[in-house]
Protein backbone atom coordinates (compact mmCIF):
# COMPACT_ATOMS: atom_id res chain seq x y z
CA UNK A 1 0.00 0.00 0.00
CA UNK A 2 1.46 3.35 -1.06
CA UNK A 3 -0.12 5.64 1.53
CA UNK A 4 2.22 6.91 4.24
CA UNK A 5 -0.61 8.16 6.46
CA UNK A 6 -4.12 7.31 7.56
CA UNK A 7 -6.83 9.91 8.05
CA UNK A 8 -8.96 8.59 10.92
CA UNK A 9 -12.40 10.17 10.57
CA UNK A 10 -15.43 10.42 12.82
CA UNK A 11 -18.68 12.26 12.12
CA UNK A 12 -21.50 13.29 14.40
CA UNK A 13 -24.70 13.60 12.42
CA UNK A 14 -27.45 11.74 10.61
CA UNK A 15 -28.68 11.52 7.00
CA UNK A 16 -31.73 13.59 8.00
CA UNK A 17 -29.68 16.61 9.05
CA UNK A 18 -26.18 15.91 7.75
CA UNK A 19 -22.78 16.11 9.40
CA UNK A 20 -22.83 18.54 12.34
CA UNK A 21 -19.30 17.84 13.57
CA UNK A 22 -16.27 16.19 12.06
CA UNK A 23 -13.03 15.03 13.60
CA UNK A 24 -9.95 13.96 11.65
CA UNK A 25 -6.75 12.50 13.08
CA UNK A 26 -3.85 12.12 10.66
CA UNK A 27 -1.83 9.12 11.76
CA UNK A 28 1.59 8.03 10.49
CA UNK A 29 4.12 5.36 11.40
CA UNK A 30 5.49 7.86 13.95
CA UNK A 31 2.11 8.50 15.61
CA UNK A 32 -0.44 11.33 15.48
CA UNK A 33 0.67 14.09 13.11
CA UNK A 34 -2.36 16.38 13.06
CA UNK A 35 -5.91 16.78 14.38
CA UNK A 36 -8.76 18.92 13.09
CA UNK A 37 -12.41 19.39 14.01
CA UNK A 38 -15.29 21.84 13.90
CA UNK A 39 -19.04 22.11 14.31
CA UNK A 40 -21.11 22.45 11.12
CA UNK A 41 -24.55 23.89 10.40
CA UNK A 42 -27.11 21.11 9.87
CA UNK A 43 -29.30 20.81 6.78
CA UNK A 44 -32.31 20.14 9.06
CA UNK A 45 -33.20 20.42 12.73
CA UNK A 46 -31.26 18.17 15.13
CA UNK A 47 -33.73 16.06 17.14
CA UNK A 48 -33.42 16.40 20.95
CA UNK A 49 -32.82 12.63 21.24
CA UNK A 50 -29.73 12.96 19.03
CA UNK A 51 -28.54 16.04 20.93
CA UNK A 52 -28.62 14.03 24.14
CA UNK A 53 -26.13 11.59 22.59
CA UNK A 54 -23.64 13.84 20.83
CA UNK A 55 -24.27 17.02 22.80
CA UNK A 56 -24.86 19.27 19.77
CA UNK A 57 -28.02 21.35 19.35
CA UNK A 58 -29.28 23.25 16.33
CA UNK A 59 -28.81 26.50 18.28
CA UNK A 60 -25.13 25.71 18.93
CA UNK A 61 -24.47 25.41 15.21
CA UNK A 62 -26.06 28.74 14.24
CA UNK A 63 -23.66 30.85 12.19
CA UNK A 64 -21.40 27.88 11.39
CA UNK A 65 -20.55 26.98 7.81
CA UNK A 66 -22.22 23.77 6.64
CA UNK A 67 -20.16 20.63 6.20
CA UNK A 68 -20.28 20.92 2.40
CA UNK A 69 -17.90 23.89 2.70
CA UNK A 70 -15.17 21.34 3.53
CA UNK A 71 -15.08 19.71 0.07
CA UNK A 72 -11.60 20.87 -0.93
CA UNK A 73 -10.20 19.91 2.46
CA UNK A 74 -11.57 16.38 2.30
CA UNK A 75 -10.39 15.96 -1.29
CA UNK A 76 -6.90 17.00 -0.13
CA UNK A 77 -7.06 14.43 2.67
CA UNK A 78 -8.23 11.71 0.30
CA UNK A 79 -5.32 12.43 -2.06
CA UNK A 80 -2.70 12.11 0.66
CA UNK A 81 -3.79 9.07 2.63
CA UNK A 82 -6.17 6.23 3.26
CA UNK A 83 -9.45 6.98 5.04
CA UNK A 84 -10.10 5.04 8.25
CA UNK A 85 -13.08 4.88 10.62
CA UNK A 86 -14.72 2.60 13.18
CA UNK A 87 -17.73 1.04 11.44
CA UNK A 88 -16.71 2.97 8.33
CA UNK A 89 -19.99 2.43 6.47
CA UNK A 90 -21.49 5.22 8.64
CA UNK A 91 -18.82 7.77 7.72
CA UNK A 92 -18.78 6.57 4.12
CA UNK A 93 -22.53 7.05 3.73
CA UNK A 94 -22.54 10.51 5.32
CA UNK A 95 -19.62 11.60 3.13
CA UNK A 96 -21.27 10.30 -0.04
CA UNK A 97 -24.56 11.92 0.90
CA UNK A 98 -22.74 15.27 0.93
CA UNK A 99 -20.56 14.75 -2.16
CA UNK A 100 -21.09 11.68 -4.33
CA UNK A 101 -17.39 11.32 -5.15
CA UNK A 102 -14.10 13.25 -5.29
CA UNK A 103 -11.99 13.80 -8.42
CA UNK A 104 -9.64 10.96 -9.33
CA UNK A 105 -7.42 10.16 -6.34
CA UNK A 106 -4.96 7.36 -5.57
CA UNK A 107 -6.61 3.99 -5.06
CA UNK A 108 -4.66 2.97 -1.99
CA UNK A 109 -5.80 -0.63 -2.44
CA UNK A 110 -4.04 -0.90 -5.82
CA UNK A 111 -0.57 0.54 -6.26
CA UNK A 112 -0.36 3.15 -9.01
CA UNK A 113 -4.11 3.13 -9.76
CA UNK A 114 -6.55 6.05 -9.45
CA UNK A 115 -10.23 6.04 -8.56
CA UNK A 116 -12.98 8.67 -8.23
CA UNK A 117 -14.28 7.41 -4.89
CA UNK A 118 -13.99 8.26 -1.20
CA UNK A 119 -13.00 4.66 -0.51
CA UNK A 120 -11.55 2.20 0.04
CA UNK A 121 -11.66 2.54 3.83
CA UNK A 122 -9.72 0.84 6.58
CA UNK A 123 -12.51 -0.18 8.96
CA UNK A 124 -11.29 -0.69 12.53
CA UNK A 125 -14.54 -2.50 13.45
CA UNK A 126 -13.79 -5.21 10.88
CA UNK A 127 -10.13 -5.11 11.88
CA UNK A 128 -11.04 -5.78 15.51
CA UNK A 129 -13.40 -8.61 14.60
CA UNK A 130 -10.71 -10.27 12.47
CA UNK A 131 -7.80 -9.87 14.90
CA UNK A 132 -9.66 -10.38 18.19
CA UNK A 133 -12.47 -12.88 17.50
CA UNK A 134 -12.59 -13.85 21.16
CA UNK A 135 -14.04 -10.44 22.10
CA UNK A 136 -17.79 -10.38 22.63
CA UNK A 137 -18.12 -6.69 21.75
CA UNK A 138 -16.11 -4.64 19.26
CA UNK A 139 -17.80 -1.27 19.83
CA UNK A 140 -15.40 1.66 20.10
CA UNK A 141 -16.32 2.21 23.75
CA UNK A 142 -15.33 -1.35 24.60
CA UNK A 143 -12.01 -1.05 22.76
CA UNK A 144 -10.84 2.39 23.83
CA UNK A 145 -12.71 3.71 26.86
CA UNK A 146 -11.49 1.28 29.52
CA UNK A 147 -8.13 0.71 31.21
CA UNK A 148 -4.79 2.23 30.27
CA UNK A 149 -5.83 3.22 26.75
CA UNK A 150 -8.74 5.24 28.13
CA UNK A 151 -6.27 7.40 30.04
CA UNK A 152 -4.18 7.92 26.92
CA UNK A 153 -7.29 8.96 25.01
CA UNK A 154 -8.16 11.49 27.72
CA UNK A 155 -4.65 12.96 27.72
CA UNK A 156 -4.47 13.32 23.92
CA UNK A 157 -8.05 14.62 23.74
CA UNK A 158 -7.30 17.28 26.36
CA UNK A 159 -4.50 18.52 24.11
CA UNK A 160 -6.43 18.57 20.82
CA UNK A 161 -10.19 18.73 21.46
CA UNK A 162 -12.18 21.90 22.22
CA UNK A 163 -12.65 21.93 26.01
CA UNK A 164 -16.39 21.26 25.83
CA UNK A 165 -15.92 18.45 23.28
CA UNK A 166 -13.32 16.29 25.06
CA UNK A 167 -15.83 13.50 25.61
CA UNK A 168 -17.14 10.31 23.98
CA UNK A 169 -19.56 10.90 21.10
CA UNK A 170 -17.67 14.07 20.16
CA UNK A 171 -16.17 13.64 16.70
CA UNK A 172 -12.50 14.37 17.39
CA UNK A 173 -12.56 12.51 20.72
CA UNK A 174 -13.86 9.38 19.00
CA UNK A 175 -11.40 9.78 16.12
CA UNK A 176 -8.55 10.01 18.65
CA UNK A 177 -9.84 6.90 20.43
CA UNK A 178 -9.94 5.01 17.12
CA UNK A 179 -6.47 6.20 16.10
CA UNK A 180 -4.86 5.31 19.43
CA UNK A 181 -6.47 1.86 19.48
CA UNK A 182 -5.18 1.17 15.98
CA UNK A 183 -1.71 2.54 16.71
CA UNK A 184 -1.10 1.31 20.25
CA UNK A 185 -3.09 -1.92 20.40
CA UNK A 186 -3.00 -3.22 16.82
CA UNK A 187 0.17 -1.55 15.56
CA UNK A 188 0.78 0.50 12.42
CA UNK A 189 2.26 -2.23 10.25
CA UNK A 190 -0.23 -4.88 11.35
CA UNK A 191 -3.10 -2.59 10.38
CA UNK A 192 -1.60 -1.88 6.96
CA UNK A 193 -0.89 -5.56 6.34
CA UNK A 194 -4.49 -6.40 7.26
CA UNK A 195 -5.77 -3.76 4.85
CA UNK A 196 -3.53 -5.03 2.06
CA UNK A 197 -4.85 -8.56 2.53
CA UNK A 198 -8.46 -7.33 2.46
CA UNK A 199 -7.68 -5.22 -0.59
CA UNK A 200 -6.77 -8.33 -2.61
CA UNK A 201 -9.09 -8.81 -5.62
CA UNK A 202 -11.16 -11.53 -3.92
CA UNK A 203 -11.93 -9.18 -1.00
CA UNK A 204 -12.70 -6.00 -2.98
CA UNK A 205 -16.47 -6.18 -2.43
CA UNK A 206 -16.00 -5.57 1.29
CA UNK A 207 -13.99 -2.33 0.91
CA UNK A 208 -16.53 0.48 0.62
Per-residue pLDDT reduced to its tens digit, 20-52:
999 999 999 999 999 999 999 999 999 999 999
Q: Which CATH number fits domain 6-196: 3.40.50.2300, 3.40.47.10, 2.70.98.10, 3.30.420.10?
A: 3.30.420.10
pTM (2 d.p.): 0.94
Q: Domain segments of the chain: what residues?
A: 6-196
Secondary structure string (H, E, C) spanning the chain: CCCCCEEEEEEEEECCCEEEEEEEEEEECCEEEEEEEEECECCCCCCHHHHHHHCCCCHHHCCCCEHHHHHHHHHHHHHHCEEEECCHHHHHHHHHHHCCCCCCEECCCCCCCEECCCCCEEEHHHHHHHHCCCCCCCCHHHHHCCHHHHHHHHHHHHHHCCHHHCCCCCHHHHHHHHHHHHHHHHCHHHHHHHHHHHCCHHHHHHCC
Per-residue pLDDT reduced to its tens digit, 111-141:
889 999 999 999 999 999 999 999 999 999 8
Amino acid sequence: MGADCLHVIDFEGHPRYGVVEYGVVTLTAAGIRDCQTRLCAPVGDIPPADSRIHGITTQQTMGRAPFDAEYEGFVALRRTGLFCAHNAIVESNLLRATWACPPFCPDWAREGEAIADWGPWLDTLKLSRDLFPEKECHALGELSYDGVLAQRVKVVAAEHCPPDRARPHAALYDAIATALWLYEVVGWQTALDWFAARAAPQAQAELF
